[in-house]
């Protein structure tokens, strides 16, 4: 009996390939961010995830733990995933740059480009159905155009390669604003992304 389309097993080859990418980031000195990092943060999740989530760069907590989105913004992202009936382990979460920019500044273009081979390889290995880019920096880097993220939250578009990308508000922005409407639109965008990536309807389990 063939495997249903919505089920994917984590196979050794894709998992090992991601481990190899991660190992390369640990010793990477392609840009100046390596000088101040405690840990590189290559990303984590399912090696054949339907949905890939890409943020801007690690923060202080992520730099300390070597894992993406484990601070307050990560907690909000986890909550949004849970409300969308998605386990964090079922998606793959990473950032445009794998090392923390000092003072949480935005990574400059040279740093983004220096780190891009790792991100490109991760996308090639995982082959996600859909990429969610969190925040303006990640959205503009992937889409290669100016993005007004507050206006374009939840917008789906396709890269010339056919890869689907959805721009979503960064959870840190949602936390800063404390506005119920912004929070609701962030949660809804994650649900919409889940629906498209998995080809399923909104179950309303945790609404």
Partner 1 sequence: MESPILDYMREVLEEHILPLADRGAGLVEAPWLVDMLQKVEAVYKNDQPR
Question: Where on the chain is the footprint of partner 1 (CB under 8 A)?
Answer: 4-6, 50, 127-130, 156-158, 160, 162-164, 195-201
Q: What's the min distance (Å) between Cβ of 204 and partner 1?
A: 13
Provide the token pair at 28.
Answer: 């990477």
Q: What's the min distance (Å) between Cβ of 39 and partner 1?
A: 31
β pairing state of 44-45 and 92-95 = antiparallel
Provide the token pair at 107.
Answer: 């990574």
Phi, psi of 92 (to 5 degrees): -115, 130
Q: Which is nearer to partner 1, 103 or 160 (CB)?
A: 160
Q: Which is nearer to partner 1, 158 or 181 (CB)?
A: 158
Q: Which is nearer to partner 1, 25 or 47 (CB)?
A: 47
Q: What's the min distance (Å) between Cβ of 162 and partner 1?
A: 4
Q: What's the min distance (Å) between Cβ of 91 and partner 1?
A: 15
Which residues have a Cβ under 8 Å from the Cβ of 16 and sit 6 or more positions away? none
Q: What's the min distance (Å) between Cβ of 37 and partner 1?
A: 33
Q: Which is nearer to partner 1, 6 or 105 (CB)?
A: 6
Q: What's the min distance (Å) between Cβ of 6 and partner 1?
A: 6
């Amino acid at each position: 009996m063939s495997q249903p389309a919505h089920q994917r097993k984590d196979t050794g080859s894709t998992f090992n390939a991601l481990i190899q990418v991660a190992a390369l980031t640990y010793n990477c000195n392609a840009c100046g961010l390596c000088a101040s990092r405690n840990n590189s943060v290559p990303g984590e999740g399912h090696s054949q995830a339907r949905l890939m989530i890409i943020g801007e760069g690690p923060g202080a907590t992520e730099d300390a733990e070597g894992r993406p989105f484990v601070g307050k913004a990560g907690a909000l992202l986890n909550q949004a995933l849970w409300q969308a009936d998605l386990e964090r382990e079922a998606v793959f979460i990473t950032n445009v740059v794998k090392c923390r920019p000092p003072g949480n500044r935005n990574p400059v273009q040279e740093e983004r480009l220096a780190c891009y081979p790792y991100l490109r390889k991760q996308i090639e290995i995982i082959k996600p159905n859909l990429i969610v880019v969190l925040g303006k920096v990640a959205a503009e880097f992937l889409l290669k155009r100016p993005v007004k993220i507050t206006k374009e939250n939840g917008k789906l578009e396709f890269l010339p390669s056919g890869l689907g990308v959805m721009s979503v508000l960064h959870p840190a922005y949602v936390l800063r604003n404390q506005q119920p409407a912004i929070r609701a639109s962030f949660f809804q965008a994650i649900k919409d992304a889940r629906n498209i990536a998995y080809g399923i309807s909104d179950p309303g389990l945790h609404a």
